[in-house]
Amino acid sequence: MKDLLLRGGRVADPASGLDAVRDVLLREGKVAAMEIPGQIQAPDAEVFNAKGLIVAPGLVDIHVHLREPGQAYKETIASGTAAAAAGGFTSVCAMPNTIPVNDSPEITRWMQAPDRGASARVFPIAAATLGSMGEALTNYSALKDAGAVAVTDDGKPILGDGIMLEALRSAAKVGLPVIQHAEDTRLTGGCSMNAGALAFRLGLRGMPVEAESGLVERDLSLLKKVKGGHLHVAHLSTKKALDAVRAARKSGLHVTCEVTPHHFALTEERIGLYDTNAKMNPPLRAEADRAAMIEGLLDGTIDAIATDHAPHAAHEKEQEFDRAPNGITGLETALGLAISLLHVQHKMPLPAVLALLSSRPARALGLTGRGALTVGSAADVLVFEPAERWVFHAADSRSRSKNTPFDGTEMQGRVRLTVGDGRVVFRAPR
Amino acid sequence: MAQTRNPSRKARQKPSAIPFFQPALFERPIHPRSAISSNDFSVAEVRRILMAADALEREDPLRRAKRLAKRRVALLFYESSTRTRTSFELAAKALGADTTLVSSLSSSIEKGESLKDTGITLKALGAECIILRSPYSGAPYLLARATGLPVLNAGDGMAEHPSQALLDLRTILQHLGVRAAAVSETCLRGVTVTICGDILHSRVARSNELLLPRLGAKVILCGPPQLLPETAAGMMPGIAIERDFDAALEQSQIVMMLRIQAERLAGLQIDLDDYRSRYQASAERIAAHAPTAVILHPGPIIRGMEMVSEVADGPQSAIAQQVHNGVPIRMALVARALSGEKKGGRR
């Protein structure tokens, strides 16, 4: 691997607080040097002119569905991580709802094997229960040894109090967070969007806000009983659940949470006339909830922006709204949406936006050495043009699937170069 | 669906100026002479449809049968139906069209063929208009986008049933003595229509809610909270909720009863004895609180549940007239869908 010298960019590393023009030398998969421009001597290195660009740690997405093993027609680890690289992500945490479910060290290792051809580092999140059936716990210590960074039954929330308590206890023992997709499915049978006036108008069954907040509140009450327990709430979407997390955090509980770009960028109105590319779970909510997500990002309650990248084939989304599967792709639009909404619209400083996409999610799931750009850290680097406005086209996506509500959306902030473990994994076409 | 054969082309031509809350980028436009929602019709268009229904009803059957002679209309029914299917079929045939019925139990739908593929197949067989009934809300939009054909919604899930709302309107106007030509934003001013029963699951209620207030009517929704959420009143100005059926009846000139849709209850538990005592159109209740009101029901009636036979078959009932009005209204909708295009015309 040739050395790479990123010359003259503004280095914004939210982990260390550095925000200054630096040359950065990447060597053998590590950040080898970072100096005031002109001081690094590396005659053999490939030089990338980063003048006028931001040099940031490679982004970290702690919630993606890579669909492998089992559903390669939607996505593969190779295609999903290629999309990640194009979106500036160098680390992705892969959810276990594969076929078969990733509930074993074997699958966990398989997902990380070099043969998968990944363009980003894949950190598997393993199933919290066998087959994600919510009955018997998986072997957390073996899964952790195999590389799992958390456990979850994402998409199949753990409803039983006893098993959830057991999961939190066992995970605490081995130092893993339990991630919950907070949805009380007893309240959401047959539902395909947010409950409320619009659902009534469209004749669709709606998921009440309480289905999310109720389960978050239940989980927080269980977490209180577990010494050293860590709960991470996936894709938060309602003000009520966010308020519960905020209060629990204040009371000293170890709870972290994430929000998706679509939940802070869009409302249920985006469904329009039954557009299945606006169907996901949790559903797009009302404006008050969207505004609460922005508020939670601005005030620091929300730890991470995570995409919940959920690719589906065209023929699956081209169905009646109730029949179409939940989920949208998100890896290539996250940075642009975060900059457009949080930095441009709500004046959040760029390093704070980057923290939500790198250092803070890395910390939330304990991904050591990721989401930081300092000498000695992994050579995971994102170089982007913060002011460039561009239009995202789903057809150009590296993902195998094109199910996104952001096709044709203009956004600000465009990736120029992504380096993962010292290797150039994405370079914007000139 | 935003998936398109070439989704980026359209987007590239016209990048959105406002990055968020933009309307969906649909694959293809909906055929403008589709009838999917009551909102598809302006008041002027409602007037034209009702006038066309009158004219077609009066027309000599032999002349009428030349209007759409040998044009092809497909009926695609994923749910059972008596009134709607028969009247759409009779309407298309009365205009001279060839009709074909595809239903879920006797077609490749059983083998898992998608709505999109079924629509494309019907179009390839020469269908110029598809009449769709589906258990899924919004399905007509999918079919219309997939085929580019005019789609007439014969009921989609819990969403809409616009031809029913139009025939209900025709029935109401006939009783009030308002001519079709007089249909306007104010033609139902001073008229109160109560819709009582399982509003939540009713596409008929939604289509009426979206139509009648635009003509000046006051619509009162009546039913228990489980079947009538507060959000129902938010659909349109001019809609109110009254839980006391007697009080609603006192104000109403028109009373539309709905059945409880057992097939869509999804686990909801309803105390039927309590329901009957509060919301049944019983002979005593109607005599006491709405002795002159016109009683409607879109059918099927569950006699002894929402309505007793004395009311259904009584002098105030206009239920058979509603059914009768189905054919002229649907003639007007089919004629409208196929107007302005040559036979076999493909776009």
CATH number for A142: 3.20.20.140
> Residue A275: what are its φ and ψ, rounded to 5°?
-75, 115
> 90-119 in A: which are within 8 Å (CB) of B?
none
Claim to verify: residue A127 and residue A271 sit in the same structural domain: yes
ipTM: 0.93
What is the distance between the alpha carbons of residues A309 and A61, in angstroms, rounded to a whole number?
9
Check CB contact of A30 with chain B, cutoff 8 Å: no
Angle B77-B119-B14 from CA coordinates, rounded to 5°: 130
To the nearest whole number, what is the mean pLDDT of chain A? 97
A275–B1 C-beta distance less than 8 A: yes
- The full set of domain ranges for chain B reads 28-160+326-341, 163-262+270-320
Residue A118, phi then psi, degrees to nearest 5: -75, 145
pLDDT in tens, A306-352: 999 999 999 999 999 999 999 999 999 999 999 999 999 999 999 99
B208 to chain A, closest Cα gap in Å: 12
Please indicate whether the domains covering B28-160+326-341 and B163-262+270-320 agree at the CATH topology level. Answer: yes
Helix (H) or strand (E) holding B118: helix B115-124
Under-70 pLDDT residues of chain B = 1-27, 341-347
CB atoms under 10 Å from CB of A395, counted, come to 15
Chain A residues closer than 8 Å to B203 by CB: 203
Whether residue A337 is contained in a domain is answered as yes
Whether A66 has its CB under 8 Å from any CB of chain B: the answer is no
Residues A299 and A390 occupy one common structural domain: no
- If one looks up domain B163-262+270-320 in CATH, what number appears? 3.40.50.1370
* CA diameter of chain B: 66
Using an 8 Å CB-CB cutoff, list chain A residues near B160.
203
Q: Are residues A280 and A413 in the same domain?
A: no
Q: Report the alpha-carbon distance of residue A364 to residue A280 in Å, rounded.
A: 24
Q: Give me Rg for the CA atoms of chain B.
A: 21
Q: Say whether both A87 and A208 belong to one domain.
A: yes
Q: B159, A321: Cβ pair inside 8 Å?
A: no
pLDDT of A429 reads 87
Whether residue A44 is found in the same domain as residue A69:
no
Q: How many CA atoms lie within 13 A of A80 on its CB side?
A: 33
- Which chain A residues are closer than 8 Å to B11 by Cβ? 391, 393, 407-408
Q: Are residues A27 and A152 in the same domain?
A: no
Does a structural domain hold residue A46?
yes
Residue B27 confidence (pLDDT): 55
Asked whether residue A277 falls in the same domain as residue A323, the answer is yes
Q: Which pLDDT band holds residue A1 (cuts at 50, 70, 90)?
A: confident
- Residues A31 and A38: their CA atoms lie apart, in Å, by 17
**Residues of chain B neighbouring A396 (CB-CB closer than 8 A):** 8
Find the mean pLDDT for residues A406-412.
95
Q: Residue A373: inside a domain, yes or no?
A: no
Q: Which residues of A touch B137 (CB under 8 A)?
A: 202-204, 274, 320-322
**Chain A nearest CA to B53, separation (Å):** 28
Convert the pLDDT of each residue in B19-38 to its tens digit. 443 333 445 789 999 999 99
Inter-chain touch A204–B1, beta carbons under 8 Å: no
Same domain, A398 and A352: no
Instruction: Please name the residue of chain A whose CA is at the shortest distance from the CA of residue B203.
Output: A203
User: Residue A390 sits in a domain of what CATH number?
Assistant: 2.30.40.10
Residue A369: inside a domain, yes or no?
A: no
pLDDT at A389 over 50: yes
Whole-number pLDDT of residue A57: 98
Residues 6+ apart with CB under 8 A from B331: B52, B53, B56, B57, B64, B91, B92, B94, B95
Mean pLDDT of A89-113: 98
Residue B235 touches partner A, C-beta closer than 8 Å: yes
Chain B within 8 Å of A275 (Cβ-Cβ)? yes
A393 and A293 within one domain: no
Residue A22 lies in a domain: yes
Structural domain span for residue A8: 4-55+378-427
Q: How would DSSP label each residue in A54-67?
A: EEEEPEEEEEE---
Task: Tell me, yes or no, whether A111 and A42 share the same domain.
Answer: no
A403 touches chain B (CB under 8 A): yes
A76 touching B, CB under 8 A? no
The sign one gets for the Cα dihedral A150, A153, A154, A160 is negative
Q: Which residues of A are catalytic?
A: 308
On whether both A157 and A232 belong to a single domain, the answer is yes
For residue B159, which residues of chain A lie inside 8 Å, CB to CB?
202-204
Residue A256 makes CB contacts below 8 A (sequence gap 6+) with A177, A230, A231, A232, A233, A303, A304, A364
Residue B263: what pLDDT?
Answer: 83
Q: Which residue of A has its CA nearest to B17?
A: A410
Token code pair at residue A386 = 């913060």
Report if residue A234 sits inside a domain. yes
Q: Buried b vs exposed e over B203-230: b needs ≥16 C-beta within 10 Å?
A: bbbbbbbbbbbbbbbbbbbbbbeebbbe
When CB atoms are compared, the residue of B19, B23, B266 closest to A411 is B19
CATH number of B28-160+326-341, picked from 3.30.2010.10, 3.40.50.1370, 3.90.550.10, 3.40.50.150? 3.40.50.1370
In this structure, the answer to whether residues A188 and A166 fall within a common structural domain is yes
CB contact under 8 A, A266 and B21: yes
Whole-number Cα distances in Å, B222 to A199, B230, B235? 19, 11, 15
Q: What is the total count of domains within chain A?
A: 2
Model pTM score = 0.92
